[in-house]
Amino acid sequence: MKFWSQYFIPTLKESPADAEIASHKLLVRAGLVRKLGGGLYTYMPLGLRVMQKITQICREEIERGGGIELEMPHVHPVENWQNGPRWAAAREIMFRADSAGDGKRPPREPEFVLGPTHEEVITPLVKTEITSYRDLPKNFFQIATKFRNEIRPRYGLMRAREFVMMDAYSFDVDDERAIKSYLAMKAAYEAFFRRIGVQSIAVEADTGVMGGSFSHEFMVPAEVGDDDVIYCEESGYAANREKATSALVPPDLADAAPAGAVEEFATPGVVTIAALEAAPYGVAADKQFKTLVYIGDGKPFLVVLRGCDELEEAKLGALGFGLFRPATPEEIEPVMGAKPGSLGVVKGTIKNQSALAGIFADHAIRLVGNGTTGANKDGFHLRNVNVARDLAVAKFGDFRRVRAGEPDVKSGRPLQVRRGIEVGHIFKLGTKYSEKYGAVFTDDQKQSHLMVMGCYGIGISRTMQAVIEQSHDNDGIVWPWPVAPFQVLVCVLDPQLPEAMDLAKKLAAAAERAGADVLVDDRVERPGVKFKDADLIGLPLRLTIGGKGLKEGIVELKWRKQKDVAKVPLAEAEARVAAAVAEARASAGV
RNA sequence: CGGGGUGUAGCUUAGCCUGGUAGAGCGCCUGGUUUGGGACCAGGAGGUCGCAGGUUCAAAUCCUGUCGCCCCGACCA
């Protein structure tokens, strides 16, 4: 039992100027966090209580899923990272943690870094500690602060430089067992999000810089999310934008019959899809071939799409380049023979085809019959271009960005799109890290094998904000019972009346015995102030005790998510409070 | 890092264009009146106008630089 007047809940009437979205404003207004700097926040007493509740539920579910808790250092010797598989990509977001030192060490290379995640620490640890199949499988996790120098921190805790994350790492003897560990974590995640009262969906995701073979993101649907989820309710398909595919191209598609030989025509000044669509040319965008030039590991390569399609850059990751980027006009002309806007891949028109690392095309270009594309000659295009006959494509793949309305692969129904906040991610890693750090074990035939890994993350602090984003109204936060900082607010309108405070303490004690955390608002404030604050901080159950009610012989009982107020006779108050708490606990599954 | 915006009291901000006494609301302190949905009256404290240069008789205001913060893009739990 805590008393508001002695506790610390600095609420704000107005939203801070730097907060944009509802959950960020409410985090600050309800006194849950305060900003130190960009992406750096103090968890105030109330906010910390929420974090602790989420943390505890997360711990319980991950343990149930096979996790063993430990805690690793936040400061890492840089060598751990330099020896790992992704130092080049990761160092950009890593904070240096150099010792103040004597100034002798050259400033270029850090001596220590702050951990953004812990594959580089756990894998060497497991390598030395686990050498036998008898000790596998193992799944180690921690719930700890992570450090990432985000290029652009924003939306409060949503993307912070310092944040709390649950990270788990599984080690298995083979692929099949690794998939079991992966599925156990997926189930643990689902249980976790269900328990904290957050609606989340698991979507297929790109593995990105983590590498690995497959992965799911856990998304909380929200307008302010930073990711698009493509889904089909009928088939249950859900994927993020980077990964999503559709059945746009029928598998039995037959190529259109060529209408005639490839023919060059003059298009002075035409360098965009739109300009070629316009009069006098009138070539629809889906009848054009778009040719993009990228540089992969130093060598140019081409990607061909329909004129109406957009490249999904993440899908280029499947091509196996370590690093890739769009080519500059200066890099394009010597290879292609023309400037961007007149490019194409018709056989024999590329100036220096041997310089290319490959010509890739999206499947959807097969829908284009007798299309138009650049002639690799400034101011000229080619028509009657057909894929099989005319294009120098080396390999087809899925490179285009899926749009809403395209048919789902399984059900054929139109795909839908909605925004979501990514709160968790699971990866089946494979042997990328075990190979690099030599994490091997000996099996019962005395044979050595690489451990097969998985890694798993839940953004704890981000989840706290996602809960608010998903559960609030115009007056403030509406906490789900399991993560509320306190579950019951005893609002004493006349704390100077001894009988009011006596009753408040009695009812608070009853609620506590029934299993609730209780906050007593004993501040000497006007009722309006207390009610506004109560709605703002959003505790699930409110008991109101006032001089007026006492004269009538009642106290009031109100759920935050409901409008109506129940008047309870004093004689029944204790029992009713206990019953309400018990009911809430039961329906929250606590 | 590229593009845009912004910095004035603890918070929200006006003033800046057109240079001349730094203003309001909330919050805070004192006293009084109030008391069931962010009260009222009276009095009070609180500001190097982000920082550094420059122009000027005079700079919150104009110029240059710099730093912080916010938004859009690439990246992520």
Residue A208 has pLDDT above 70, yes or no: no
Say which nucleotide is closest to residue A18, CA to C1' distance: B70
Q: Shortest CA distance to A155 belongs to which of A467, A470, A466?
A: A466
Protein-contacted bases of chain B (C-beta within 7 A): 1-2, 11-13, 25-27, 34-39, 68-77
What confidence tier does A124 reach under pLDDT thresholds 50, 70, 90? Answer: very high
Tell whether the model's pLDDT for residue A67 goes beyond 70: yes
User: CA-CA distance, A514 to A582, in Å (whole number)?
Assistant: 6
Nearest DNA or RNA nucleotide to A92 (CA to C1')? B75
| B75: residue with closest CA to C1' | A151
Q: What is the DSSP letter of A297?
A: T
Judged against a pLDDT cut of 60, whether residue A106 lies above it is answered with: no
**Cα separations in angstroms, A147 against A13, A75, A76, A90, A344:** 32, 10, 11, 12, 45
Structural element, H or E, at residue A437: helix A432-437
Q: CA A528 – C1' B39 distance (Å)?
A: 9
Rounded CA–C1' distance between A430 and B70, in angstroms:
41
Q: What does pLDDT average to over chain A?
A: 91
Q: When comparing pLDDT for A156 and A318, which is higher? A: A156
Please check whether residue A492 is in contact with residue A529, taking contact to mean a CB–CB distance below 8 angstroms: no
Q: Straight-line distance from CA A562 to C1' B32, in Å?
A: 39
A458, closest nucleotide (Cα–C1') = B77
pLDDT number for residue A274: 84
Give mean pLDDT, residues A488-497: 96
A455: nt with nearest C1' to CA: B77
Q: Which of A38-42, A277-281, A442-446, A534-538 has the lowest mean pLDDT?
A: A277-281
Q: Over 80: is that where the pLDDT of A318 sits?
A: no
Six token digits for residue A179 = 């998939």
**For position A213, what pLDDT does the model report?**
65
Q: What ipTM goes with this model?
A: 0.94
Tell me the pLDDT band of A572, cut-offs 50, 70 and 90. Answer: very high
**How high is the pLDDT of residue A316?**
83
How far does the CA of A557 sit from the C1' of B55, in Å? 68
pLDDT for A108: 60
Residue–nucleotide distance: A427 CA to B57 C1' (Å): 71
pLDDT(A239) > 90: no
3-state secondary structure of A240: strand
Q: Give the DSSP H or E segment for A122.
A: helix A119-129
Buried b (16+ CB within 10 A) or exposed e, A227-243: bbbbbbeeeebbbbbbb
Residue A125: exposure state from Cβ atoms within 10 A (0-12, 13-18, ≥19): middle
What distance in Å separates the CA atoms of residue A316 and residue A293, rounded to the nearest whole number?
12
d(CA A277, CA A374): 13
Measure the CA–CA gap between A327 and A302, rounded to whole angstroms.
10
Q: How confident is the model at residue A420 (pLDDT cuts 50, 70, 90)?
A: confident
For the ranges A21-25, A242-246, A288-292, which has the lowest average pLDDT?
A242-246
Indicate if the pLDDT at residue A425 is higher than 60: yes
Residue A500 CB contacts under 8 Å (≥ 6 apart), including other chains: A492, A493, A494, A545, A546, A547, A550
A535 CA: nearest nucleotide by C1': B37
Beta strands in A392-496 (DSSP E): 395-397, 416-430, 440-442, 448-450, 452-459, 472-473, 476-477, 488-492
At A116 the pLDDT is 93
Which residues contact residue A370 at a Cβ distance below 8 angstroms, ignoring those fewer than 6 apart?
Answer: A256, A258, A259, A260, A287, A383, A384, A385, A386
Whether the pLDDT of residue A541 is over 80: the answer is yes
The three-state secondary structure class of A522 is coil
**How does DSSP assign A525-576, residue by residue?**
--HHHHHHHHHHHT-SEEEEE-HHHHHHTEEEEEETT-S-EEEEEHHHHHHH
Q: Please report the pLDDT score of residue A331 as a whole number.
A: 84
Q: Residue A483 above 90 pLDDT?
A: yes
* Contact between residue A477 and residue A25 where contact means Cβ atoms under 8 Å apart: no
Q: Measured between alpha carbons, how far is residue A475 from residues A35, A45, A284, A562 in Å?
A: 22, 21, 51, 12
Taking Cα atoms as reference points, which of A288, A500, A279, A524 lies closest to residue A385? A288
pLDDT at A279: 81
A525/B43 CA-to-C1' distance in Å? 22
Whether the pLDDT of residue A212 is over 70: the answer is no
Question: Is A350:A392 a contact under the CB 8 Å cutoff?
Answer: yes
Q: What is the pLDDT of residue A448?
A: 97
d(CA A486, CA A494): 21
pLDDT of A460 > 90? The answer is: yes
Average pLDDT, integer, range A122-144:
97
pLDDT confidence of A56, banded at 50, 70, 90? very high
How many Cα neighbours within 13 Å face the side chain of A260?
6
Q: And the tokens for A361? A: 């095309």
Residue A182 has pLDDT above 60, yes or no: yes
Asked if residue A211 has pLDDT above 70, the reply is: no
pTM value? 0.89
Is pLDDT of A228 > 70?
yes
Mean pLDDT of A398-402: 88
Mean pLDDT of all residues in A495-500: 94
Give yes or no for residue A280 having a pLDDT over 80: yes
3-state secondary structure A454-478: EEEEEEHHHHHHHHHHHCEECCEEC
Q: Which helix (H) or strand (E) holds A220?
A: strand A214-221
| Cβ proximity of A474 and A15 under 8 Å | no
Percent of chain A with pLDDT over 70: 97
CA of A473 to C1' of B74 (A): 33
Q: pLDDT band at residue A322, thresholds of 50, 70 and 90? A: low
Q: How far is CA A131 from CA A126, A428, A454, in A?
A: 8, 21, 18
* pLDDT for A207 beyond 80: no
**Is residue A209 predicted with pLDDT exceeding 90?**
no
Is residue A220 within 8 Å of residue A399, measured between CB atoms?
Answer: no
